[in-house]
Amino acid sequence: MQDIYIDDIGSGFSLVLVHGYLGSSEMWNLQKEFLSKHFRIIAPALPGFGESYKAQSLDNINSIAKFVLKCLDKKKINEFHLMGHSMGGMIVQEMVKISENRIKKLICFATGSIGDIPGRFESIETTRNRLKKDGLKETLNRVPQKWFVEGVNAKYYYFCENAVKNISIEAADNALVAMKNWRGYENLKNIKQDTLIIWGDKDLSYNFDQVNTLKKNIPTSQLDIFKGCSHNAHLEEPQKFNETVKNFLS
């Protein structure tokens, strides 16, 4: 666990936050500030990303899921609520699959049931090829801005800029490989937890078919659509997002 950063703030029942592609623990800052008044917030930066940029990155969703569970084991956290954003939403679905009954409530935010997402603004393989061809700087200038309706002018876009300051091409590509090769559709019916699905209706990464697949196949799930938001609804409508999460978990 060397070189791994994990935010651990607040008290009460644990809520674990798993960030997405090119993310960091800081991407949850607006949630940590609010939700730590009600829960113990555990927010790791995944290996190779954000504050954990020195750690060796992983290229498999199952391996990342096991990594997060290992972090929780080290903190002796046995039961917890769980929220994952984007790639983190794939990771949390995988955590449900391998963690038996440790997870009490689940939030799948701006995510889907397969990694190679039909309808994404470009295929994952295209992103990989452009990463290698155009370089890291161009990719980091191009991709994160698509996660906000207002692009680089969004109020909290700087969280994305901070998250990628030290990332490597290897880490960026390994995560793309992990997403491309992951498929969670077959396991949706086995998710027994009460599940909240959150999606912004302007999301260019995951279209309605993706979140509707979750809604139709996870037995006890509900879908909350944030109108006028893109992929980062938690940074575009933070107050509404935080209240939605708190109310669901309460």
Condensed to tens digits (0 to 9), the pLDDT of residues 17-42 reads 999 999 999 999 999 999 999 999 99
Mean residue pLDDT of the chain comes to 95
Is 1's pLDDT higher than 80?
no
At 202-238, the pLDDT tens digits run 999 999 999 999 999 999 999 999 999 999 999 999 9
Is 198's pLDDT higher than 90?
yes
Print burial letters for 12-42: b (CB count within 10 Å at least 16), e (below 16): eebbbbbbbbbbbbbbbbbbbebbbebbbbb
User: How many domains does one find in the chain?
Assistant: 1
How would you list the strands of the sheet with 221-226, edge to edge? 6-9, 40-44, 14-18, 80-85, 103-109, 194-200, 221-226
User: What is the CA angle 17-225-13, rounded to 5?
Assistant: 30
Q: What residue numbers bound the domain in which 156 lies?
A: 6-249
Is 66's pLDDT higher than 90?
yes
Q: Residue 127 forms beta bridges with which residues?
A: none
User: What is the CA angle 43-108-229, rounded to 5?
Assistant: 95
Dihedral angle computed from the Cα positions of residues 169, 171, 177 and 179, in that order, rounded to the nearest 10 degrees: -130
What is the average pLDDT across 190-194?
Answer: 97
Q: What are the backbone dihedrals phi and psi of residue 15, each rounded to the nearest 5 degrees, phi first?
A: -125, 120
The 3-state secondary structure of the chain, one letter per residue: CCCCCEEEECCCCEEEEECCCCCCHHHHHHHHHHHCCCCEEEEECCCCCHHHCCCCCCCCHHHHHHHHHHHHHHCCCCCEEEEEECHHHHHHHHHHHHCCCCEEEEEEECCCCECCCCCCCCCHHHHHHHHHHHCHHHHHHHCHHHHCCCHHHCCCHHHHHHHCCCCCHHHHHHHHHHHHCCECHHHHHHCCCEEEEEEECCCCCCCHHHHHHHHHHCCCEEEEEECCCCCCHHHHCHHHHHHHHHHHHC
pLDDT tier for residue 119 given thresholds of 50, 70 and 90: confident
| pLDDT value at residue 241 | 98
Do residues 86 and 160 make contact, with C-beta atoms less than 8 angstroms apart? no
* Distance between CA atoms of residues 191 and 178, nearest Å: 21
Question: Does 108 reside within a domain?
Answer: yes
Question: Does 90 reside within a domain?
Answer: yes
* Distance between CA atoms of residues 79 and 72, nearest Å: 9
What is the average pLDDT across 145-165?
Answer: 95
* Distance between CA atoms of residues 49 and 37, nearest Å: 26
Question: Does 21 reside within a domain?
Answer: yes
Amino acid at 194: D
**What is the domain-level CATH number for residue 239?**
3.40.50.1820
Structure tokens given for 214: 């979750």
Q: Is the pTM of the predicted complex or chain greater than 0.95?
A: yes
Question: Does 1 reside within a domain?
Answer: no
